[in-house]
Chains A and B, each alone.
Chain A
Amino acid sequence: MSISEGSLPWLEKVKSAEKTCIIQDGKRKVHYKFNDNEEMAEEYNMQTDVLVRRAWRRRGALKKDGDWEVEMGDPEPMAVQNLGSGIGLMEANNMPYVVKRITKGNIEWRIRNLHFPLETYSVSANPTENCITVRTTNKKYFKNLPVPELERVGLVPKQENISFAHNLNVLIIMYKKPPEVLQAEQAVLALIKSVKTIKDPGELPCNPS
């Protein structure tokens, strides 16, 4: 089964977005501006063309600028995260946190600071809520991992594609990318490669205030 270009709402959305592309620090950075006040930023590795980071920013109803929400890649450094939200509450630094990555063939989640042995964990596909659920038998950790990549091509997570391992206090969960996801990625990549790339940061279309 192949996906013809433009048959998916996700591809349509990316196509219609206002895109800006720049190559900086050896990374291809793309900024998307969608119609409904949403913004997305991506970073691609120049050598492998693999997506390294992707973040979203959604405008609230009261026109407040939201914070960037990292969908995948390294989270924002703690110092940046704590600048904005001054409510005086944050997870302790020895608590588990999730980092998501994409490799050529897999979607990967690394949950750091989880020091329980491997048999404690159960990782199951949850097709009804379109996520992968991580549980612990000692009821210390629980997480629903959304898989937007699958949702965008209209698939649900399947148990047989999941594998997981535990090493050095890190729980690694891998999900084998189905061919549809790979095709959609290729289509998006082709699309942004056709966008005119800005070489000089001075050309960026931002309005000085």
Chain B
Amino acid sequence: MATLAAGASAKVPEVRDIARIERIGAHSHIRGLGLDDNLEARSVSQGMVGQQTARRAAGIVLGMIKEGKIAGRAILLAGPPGTGKTAIAMAISKSLGKDTPFTSMAGSEIYSLEMSKTEALTQAIRKSIGVRIREETEIIEGEVVELQVERPASGVGAKVGKLTLKTTEMETIYDLGTKMIDSLTKEKVGAGDVITIDKATGKISRIGRSFTRARDYDATGPQTRFVQCPEGELQKRKEVVHTVSIHEIDVINSRTHGFLALFSGDTGEIKPEVREQINGKIAEWREEGKAEITPGVLFIDEVHMLDIECFSFLNRALEDEMSPVVIMATNRGITKIRGTNYNSPHGIPIDLLDRMIIIPTSSYTDKQTMEILKIRCEEEDCEVSEDALMILTSIAMATSLRYAIQLITLSSLVSRRRKSNEVAIEDVKKVYSLFLDEGRSEQILNEYQDQYLYDSKLPNIDKGAGGEPMEA
């Protein structure tokens, strides 16, 4: 509780200061799986509510992924719509950290005119395998003595600047271009900071503040780290570790095939020879100790959209020792496998299902629904009164959670019209009457279907008004 309050108070100015680049998405409130140290799920934590058993299972899967030893496992998240399947997958991705690749795709993404289904799947699989490569690069490391930026008086034109860096032994002045000035201002670099600049990429990292500046009566946050001024030369060779996905290496290497590659671009198909060459190269690096492989996670949402060819391809691809952990999500019950006439649970062939471990999610209780709505209200920056929240909860239980979440921002807009900061019952009621949910829309259709075009249930429709009846 205490940490939560501190976090909130520290967060507020930051969010207000910097223009928030991220927009609020359906799952942007999720920060992790919300597990405690024993992998036991807390009932409300890190944006996750309820679904304790599923989250606990996901936590165990997460442990397996982090260990990085097991390749080619498939996990299926199955449950009714709006029960947090995608949320759990997002939470896994958030808790994995930057170094483990996480690729998220929807099942229908593989149907593209530019490449075949299997190529799209192969690319997705190769995007989810990371390679950590050790490389020597040149960096500039020093303490900032002075940073001067001159903006042209007219406001347009290139900015110029000078940066003076020093170590304990030397001092050098650098000329700055617009790009470097922008990234220096973005990182908020000022005199007294110890920074490193990667010479190849221009990436700046702030290491901390110099000890010599510790006495300055600057208001510094508790996070400020004081470090020694670097020694020796400003430019150093240092070993750095990059994490890239195998797909990126594929793309870099497939582009060098003459100018024709310009037309295919990076989205085109990559030749199997290139892939084989790269697999060989990576195996070589691995033996030499230059590279490490970190298998990541491929998340396929709406997996029932894949067809039988993709499923059999996946079957084979999962056997490869370089394959990632594949997490799939579906909301279908027993249904037809796409591309066949056979029915199967979740629309997935039995042989592939047999390779998976299945995590079920179940519907939320009304208490949990209320918690989720509360979190979403906070995320969408809407203040909602207690009884309006109750109404929203009952709407969510009667219709769907997604519909109720949609109503939050809408009713907040309505409440602002009547100059109130808080959403009251009347706002929710107004929005509820203005926007139909799926159930009511269906009901209307059932009642007035004869007035709509191309209605298949009534073949004796008045021919004068519409065109030909649609083909079944």
Contacts and interface: CB of A to CB of B under 8 A. Distances in A.
Given A92-B162, A139-B169, A209-B258, A87 B232 contact: no
Interface string B319-348: 000000000000000000000000000000
Given A87-B202, A141-B170, A209-B259, A63 B176 contact: no
B449 to A, nearest CB: 61
A89 B180 contact: yes
B244 interface: yes
Nearest to A87: B202
B414 interface: no
B170 A92 contact: no
A37 to B, nearest CB: 11
A61 B180 contact: no
Interface size class of B (residues with CB under 8 A): 35 or more
A86 B259 contact: no
A85 B179 contact: no
Given A62-B252, A63-B252, A144-B232, A92 B169 contact: no
Given A61-B135, A62-B244, A62-B252, A140 B170 contact: yes
Contacts of A88: 176-181, 202
Grouping DSSP codes into helix (H, G, I), strand (E, B) and loop, the B interface class, with mixed when no group exceeds half, is mixed
Contacts of A87: 177, 179-180, 197, 199-202
B171 interface: yes
A91 interface: yes
B168 interface: yes
A46 to B, nearest CB: 34
A152 to B, nearest CB: 19
Which secondary structure characterizes the binding site on chain A? loop
Interface in A38-70: 60-64
Interface residues of A, number: 25
Contacts of B242: 62
B179 A139 contact: no
A97 to B, nearest CB: 10
A64 B252 contact: yes
Contacts of A142: 167, 169-170, 232-233
- Find the residue from B134, B232, B258, B259 having the highest chain A CB count within 10 A: B232
Nearest to A66: B200
B181 A60 contact: no
A90 interface: yes
A62 B249 contact: yes
B174 A61 contact: no
Contacts of B180: 87-89
Contact of B133 (A62, A90, A93): A62
Contact of B174 (A60, A92, A143, A144): A92
B168 to A, nearest CB: 7
A65 to B, nearest CB: 9
Interface string A121-145: 0000000000000011001111110
9 contacts: A63-B252, A85-B200, A86-B179, A87-B180, A92-B162, A92-B175, A93-B175, A139-B169, A142-B169
Interface of B: 133-135, 140, 162-163, 167-181, 197, 199-202, 232-233, 242, 244, 249, 252-253, 256, 258-259, 285, 290-291
Interface of A: 60-64, 85-95, 135-136, 139-144, 209
Given A61-B291, A144-B233, 17 more contacts: A61-B285, A62-B133, A63-B252, A85-B199, A89-B202, A90-B175, A91-B175, A92-B173, A92-B175, A95-B173, A136-B170, A139-B168, A140-B171, A142-B169, A144-B232, A209-B258, A209-B259
